[in-house]
Amino acid sequence: MIITSEIISLKHLLTAESLSDQEVMGLIQRAQEFKQGAPSTLSQEQYFVSNLFFENSTRTHKSFEVAEKKLGIDVIEFDTKTSSVSKGESLYDTVLTMSAIGAHACVIRHWEEDYYNELIDSKTITTSIINGGDGSGNHPTQCLLDLLTIYEEYGDFENLDIAICGDLSHSRVANSNMKMLKRLGANLYFCGPTEWYNKKYEAYGTYLPIDDVVNQVDVMMMLRVQHERHDEDSIFVKEDYHKAYGLTVARAKEMKEGAIIMHPAPVNRDVELADELVESYQSRITQQMSNGVFMRMAILEAILHGKA
């Protein structure tokens, strides 16, 4: 995959799949440049960004905040508990307000899938929308930082063998990653309980037991069991899940030499991933977190270029 040096300019970032391959590779290149200490190409203009998190977050929220500060952006503080959201203000009206008071972009995490459609359809809202996760829909910035992490490891996506394992149907990370990794040429495998598998994933990869793929793939991408999105947890017993579907220490020993473990985090330790594997030599989880800052700097720069 050839990386170009064109400056990327985006109006919004709603899904990863809306990006062209060239834009994806351009963002990966910019993130790598930021990681090596490159300065921003943004003008000296004052930029305002607001982070609107209607669902809890540690990594996405705080790494956006670090990225914004590194780029010299003024962050408009927002908290659902102290804002007029507590008086019944709708998402639309919150974003309308942010746009009216001068926010150039809003980073939004919301429980409702596709929440962004009414915002981008508005004739009055002019602020750019960066999707920080919509329900079980999409998580484009996580997808891009995952792509950066895989690219750093292997230098390409073509013909990489990647297993995405666990709570597939509730995972916006899985949804974004399967589409992009398939498009970029990776061979995908899906593992996990049949209850959380959907036949629509056949378009992207092959569904197999974890023991059939763990010694074959370059990347074991483990997913968090999303208890908060389950109607009831009848199928769930922590120890049983770990034994049947988790990446156990014994399974990790079967992985190919040089193969890596990824997880978007937070990790349910000893559920989808053994506690001692989280910071093991095979794990790239902390690298994913660090890469989040640099990828989000690249995304913010591209969005704010789009406002120029």
Answer for which of 9, 22, 57, 97 binds ligand CP (CB under 6 A) is 57
Minimal distance, residue 134 CB to ligand CP, in Å: 12
Name the 3-class secondary structure at 52.
strand
Minimal distance, residue 262 CB to ligand CP, in Å: 11
Interacting positions 265-294 with ligand CP (CB under 6 A)? 265-266
Minimal distance, residue 266 CB to ligand CP, in Å: 6
The conformation of residue 37, written as its DSSP 8-state character, comes to T
Give the sign of the dihedral formed by CA 48, CA 265, CA 285, CA 203.
negative
Rounded CA separation 25/6 (Å): 10
Answer for which of 29, 60, 138, 248 binds ligand CP (CB under 6 A) is 60
Nearer to ligand CP by C-beta: 133 or 192? 133
137 lies in the site for ligand CP, by CB under 6 A = no
The conformation of residue 73, written as its DSSP 8-state character, comes to P
184 lies in the site for ligand CP, by CB under 6 A = no
Answer for which of 4, 20, 41, 58 binds ligand CP (CB under 6 A) is 58
Rounded CA separation 221/284 (Å): 10
Interacting positions 61-80 with ligand CP (CB under 6 A)? 61
Nearer to ligand CP by C-beta: 142 or 187? 142
The count of chain residues that interact with ligand CP, using the rule CB under 6 A, is 10
Minimal distance, residue 57 CB to ligand CP, in Å: 3
59 lies in the site for ligand CP, by CB under 6 A = yes
Selected range binding ligand CP among 154-162, 264-272, 274-282, 294-302, rule: CB under 6 A: 264-272
- H-run or E-run covering 93: helix 91-101
**How is residue 31 written in tokens?**
């993130």
Task: Answer for the pair 147, 180: CB distance below 8 angstroms, yes or no.
Answer: yes
Q: Which residues pair with 180 in a beta bridge?
A: none
Rounded CA separation 23/12 (Å): 13
140 lies in the site for ligand CP, by CB under 6 A = no
- H-run or E-run covering 222: strand 219-222
Selected range binding ligand CP among 27-35, 58-66, 215-223, 247-255, rule: CB under 6 A: 58-66
Task: Answer for the pair 304, 47: CB distance below 8 angstroms, yes or no.
Answer: yes
**How is residue 301 written in tokens?**
């720069």
Nearer to ligand CP by C-beta: 134 or 218? 134
Q: What is the CB neighbour count within 10 angstroms for residue 187?
A: 18
Rounded CA separation 280/112 (Å): 35
127 lies in the site for ligand CP, by CB under 6 A = no
Nearer to ligand CP by C-beta: 25 or 285? 285
**Given the rule CB under 6 A, which residues bind ligand CP?**
57-61, 133, 142, 264-266
